[in-house]
Structure 1
Amino acid sequence: MIRFLLCSFALVLLYPTAIDLYLVGLPQIASDLGATESQLHIAFSVYLAGMATTMFFAGKLSDSIGRKPVAMTGATIFIFASLLGGQADSSSTFLIARFAQGIGAGSCYVVAFAILRDTLDDQRRAKVLSMLNGITCIVPVIAPVVGHLIMLKFPWPSLFTTMAVMGVVVCILSTFVLKESNANRRSNESAAETGSSHPSETTLAKRAAEPFLGRFFISRVIITSIGVTTILTYVNVSPMLVMEVMGFDRGGYSTIMALTALVSMITSFSAPFLLSIFRQRSLMLLSQGLFATAATVLVASGVSTLDQIANLIGFGLICAGFSIGFGVTMSQALSPFSLRAGMASSILGIAQVCASAFYIWLMGLLGVSALNMLIIILALGGVISAALILLVALPSMPTSCKANEEITSTS
């Protein structure tokens, strides 16, 4: 079990590291490539586009050929894309490298969640996903610091060399430590040993019993997409709120982001303990309650021209709400799928990325202020999510799924 957790955590960490590690070198990258910083900021969208376009195929492949080969391929693509980014001599080459990094990171991201679905029951998976969320909250704080320390001695390409090294570590773990966890892949191997070239009737029946259009799965896709949209909206508008409206300098902004990341970490690591006491549904509703409270605080603060203390409390409530509910909801979303966990994971990832990008783009197009953009998603998203939690309950797991998990846990 330890090997699955170690590999899953490593696979997930490629995604946030590739976002945050290089940002400290953006001015120097722009200077060397003859581009403006604003032109290179599109690299974030390009990276997410690479993730979104590959997630569907990565999920489908991981269900058919196995988690391990997809993880190895994704890590390999990430390595070469990182090396290309470090050697880029034009902005177009740099953006191509970022897109390819997104392909590699997206493949690894999908596989990580599928592995956790394969190997953990509902309760343990919810706890692990909450802890995983806490670890990923560390990256936005640590990565810029690591990047700064690297650039004290080396030029900006060394940042991408560091990413490539991370990719090598993940590739080694995927090759030599990770065991295949996909029950569908193991069934195919058993069929091959017995001379059968087609999936068994039992396997086909299980696949048919795992639809993606079920109202429970759709409800959890919506809830997790709203949650990710909320936290990414906060990250996107926080520089404007903190520095332009509240009057903090860059150092103050960094401190505030570090403090909110600390809140996320503490809440995420507390979630496993809370799950031992409270039901999953209770924590999910608590998450939405924290979002609603944050919206109320920010509305009241906005009336009084953004009181600093009130805003900091609101920011902390947003991070706590996301951290306490996201892991549980993701675990529930994956629970109905024993043979199609890869596809389920990819659908979740695509929906989360696309919903976030669309909401931020639409609000910007409509000219909505940074504060109102955040309040709208907190209030409206919170109402929608709470209604779905109350109206669509977690279905009982089919007997076939339980049997599959017992086989997985003993293999």
Structure 2
Amino acid sequence: MIRFLICSFALVLLYPTAIDLYLVGLPQIAHDLGATESQLHIAFSIYLAGMATTMLFAGRLSDTIGRKPIAIAGAIIFIFASLLGGQAENSTVFLVARFAQGIGAGSCYVVAFAILRDTLDDQRRAKVLSMLNGIICIVPVIAPVIGHLIMLKFPWPSLFSTMAGMGVLVCLLSVLVLKESNTNRLGRSNHTTLVPDPFAPGETQHSQFTNERFLDRFFVSRVVITSIGVTTILTYVNVSPMLVMDAMGFDRGGYSTTMALTALVSMLASFSAPFLLSIFKQRSLMLFSQGLFAAAAIVLMASGLSLLDQVANLIGFSLICAGFSIGFGVTMSQALSPYSQRAGVASSILGIAQVCASAFYIWLMGLMGVSALNMLITVLALGGVISAALILLIPLPALPTCCKANEEITRAS
């Protein structure tokens, strides 16, 4: 079991590290490539685009041929893409490298969640996902510091060499440590019949998969809830410079300190979630997380109306981070629960929905000219109401007997 947890954590960490490690070198990268910093900021969107376009493809393949081959392939792609990014001599090659990094990281990201679905029951999976979220929250704080230390002695390509080194480590773990967890992949079954695949016209799939449909109201509800959660936290990250430095008057040092403290809140909340799950029901924690979002909306709204001092925004930011950290892991675990056979595709759909929803919301609010504060308050208030309603109206269904049997077989194998 430990090997699965170590490998899953390593696979997931490629995604946030590739976002945050190189940011400290962005001015030097722009200078050397003859581009502006604003032009290179599109690298973030390009990276997410690479992830989104790969996730469903990687998920389907991991359900068919296994998790391990996709993890290895994703790590290899990430390694070569990182090396290409470090050797780029113009912005076009750099953006291509970032897209390819997204392909590699997206493949590993999908496989990590599928592995946890294969190997853990609902309660343990919820706890592990909460802890994983806590570790991910540390990366935005640690990665820029590591990047700064690297650039004290080495040029910016060394940042991408470091990413490539991480890819090598993940690849070695996938080859030497990771065992195949998908014991239900199609290649293992010789006695199931083939039926039309509703997600790929003209193709077929095994009949045992047809009981695990994605147009199910419970799964759709959890996709919506997790997508709103990710949209909320990414909106906060996106507008935080304007709120902290422009509205509150903090300098860059103060902004860095603020982000570090809120990351600490996220980490503490994430690591407390397993303990809370031992006391409270999953639905109670999910509703509590939405309550924290609502409280954050009230605090930020009061601050915007000058009913509270601007420093009160820090309380609102902390409530946002705590709400996301407590609820996200539990909701992701519930979303994956019904899929013992198609966990790869399920995690892919979740990842794509989360990336696309957050990107669309931030783009739409920007297009409409909504202020940074109102953008954040809107997603907190409206998203919180929608999520709370879905949690109350669509509870976690009982696991079918066949799925329970499949899980027992998977645990024993």
Mapped pair 1:225 → 2:224: no
Q: Which residue of 1 aligns with 2:243?
A: 241
Mapped pair 1:100 → 2:68: no
TM-score scaled by structure 2?
0.96
User: In structure 2, what is the Cα distance between the partners aligned to 1:235 and 1:206?
Assistant: 42
User: In structure 2, what is the Cα distance between the partners aligned to 1:68 and 1:61?
Assistant: 11
8 A Cα contact 1:74 1:108, kept in partner: yes
How many pairs were matched up? 404
Q: Which residue of 2 aligns with 1:277?
A: 279
CA shift, 1:198, in A, is 6.6
User: In structure 1, what is the Cα distance between the partners aligned to 2:356 and 2:298?
Assistant: 27
8 A Cα contact 2:194 2:207, kept in partner: no
Q: Deviations over 1:325-370 (max 9, x none)?
A: 0000000000000000000000000000000000000000000000
Q: Which residue of 1 aligns with 2:187?
A: 188
Q: Which residue of 1 aligns with 2:264?
A: 262
8 A Cα contact 2:192 2:207, kept in partner: no
Q: Which residue of 2 aligns with 1:162?
A: 162
8 A Cα contact 2:52 2:351, kept in partner: yes
**1:68-83 correspondence to structure 2 within 5 Å:** 68-83=68-83
8 A Cα contact 1:188 1:199, kept in partner: no
User: In structure 1, what is the Cα distance between the partners aligned to 2:407 and 2:365?
Assistant: 43
Mapped pair 1:127 → 2:127: yes
- Out of 199, 203, 206, the residue aligned to residue 204 of structure 1 is 206
Mapped pair 1:312 → 2:314: yes
User: In structure 2, what is the Cα distance between the partners aligned to 1:76 and 1:330?
Assistant: 27
8 A Cα contact 1:141 1:257, kept in partner: yes
CA shift, 1:305, in A, is 8.0
User: In structure 2, what is the Cα distance between the partners aligned to 1:332 and 1:199?
Assistant: 28
8 A Cα contact 1:271 1:324, kept in partner: yes
Q: Deviations over 1:142-197 (max 9, x none)?
A: 00000000000000000000000000000001111111111222x62364xxxx79
Alignment CA distance shift 1:248-1:409 (3 Å) = same
Percent identity of paired positions between Structure 1 and Structure 2: 82
User: In structure 2, what is the Cα distance between the partners aligned to 1:56 and 1:306?
Assistant: 45
CA shift, 1:306, in A, is 7.0
Q: Which residue of 1 aligns with 2:32?
A: 32
8 A Cα contact 2:70 2:108, kept in partner: yes
Q: Secondary structure at the match of 2:280?
A: coil
**Amino acid in structure 2 at the alignment position of 1:367:** G
**Amino acid in structure 1 at the alignment position of 2:272:** S
User: In structure 2, what is the Cα distance between the partners aligned to 1:108 and 1:49?
Assistant: 15
**Amino acid in structure 1 at the alignment position of 2:35:** A
User: In structure 1, what is the Cα distance between the partners aligned to 2:339 and 2:192?
Assistant: 23
User: In structure 2, what is the Cα distance between the partners aligned to 1:87 and 1:404?
Assistant: 47
Q: Deviations over 1:205-242 (max 9, x none)?
A: 43111000000000000000000000000000000000
**Amino acid in structure 1 at the alignment position of 2:331:** T
CA shift, 1:307, in A, is 2.3
8 A Cα contact 2:9 2:132, kept in partner: yes
8 A Cα contact 2:193 2:206, kept in partner: no
User: In structure 2, what is the Cα distance between the partners aligned to 1:87 and 1:376?
Assistant: 42
8 A Cα contact 2:226 2:332, kept in partner: yes
CA shift, 1:399, in A, is 1.1
**Structure 1 stretches lacking a partner, 5+ long:** none
Mapped pair 1:355 → 2:354: no
Q: Which residue of 2 aligns with 1:179?
A: 179
Q: Secondary structure at the match of 1:347?
A: helix
Q: Which residue of 1 aligns with 2:202?
A: none
**Amino acid in structure 1 at the alignment position of 2:188:** E
User: In structure 1, what is the Cα distance between the partners aligned to 2:188 and 2:312?
Assistant: 58
User: In structure 1, what is the Cα distance between the partners aligned to 2:398 and 2:361?
Assistant: 33
**Amino acid in structure 1 at the alignment position of 2:171:** C
8 A Cα contact 2:192 2:206, kept in partner: no
User: In structure 2, what is the Cα distance between the partners aligned to 1:255 and 1:199?
Assistant: 57
**Amino acid in structure 1 at the alignment position of 2:71:** A
Q: Which residue of 1 aligns with 2:200?
A: none
Q: Which residue of 1 aligns with 2:153?
A: 153
User: In structure 1, what is the Cα distance between the partners aligned to 2:402 and 2:173?
Assistant: 31
Mapped pair 1:54 → 2:73: no
**Amino acid in structure 1 at the alignment position of 2:4:** F
Mapped pair 1:22 → 2:22: yes
8 A Cα contact 1:18 1:163, kept in partner: yes
User: In structure 2, what is the Cα distance between the partners aligned to 1:334 and 1:190?
Assistant: 22
8 A Cα contact 1:50 1:103, kept in partner: yes
User: In structure 1, what is the Cα distance between the partners aligned to 2:261 and 2:311?
Assistant: 13
Q: Deviations over 1:301-329 (max 9, x none)?
A: 11118723310000000000000000000
Alignment CA distance shift 1:146-1:305 (3 Å) = farther
CA shift, 1:204, in A, is 3.5
User: In structure 2, what is the Cα distance between the partners aligned to 1:247 and 1:410?
Assistant: 58
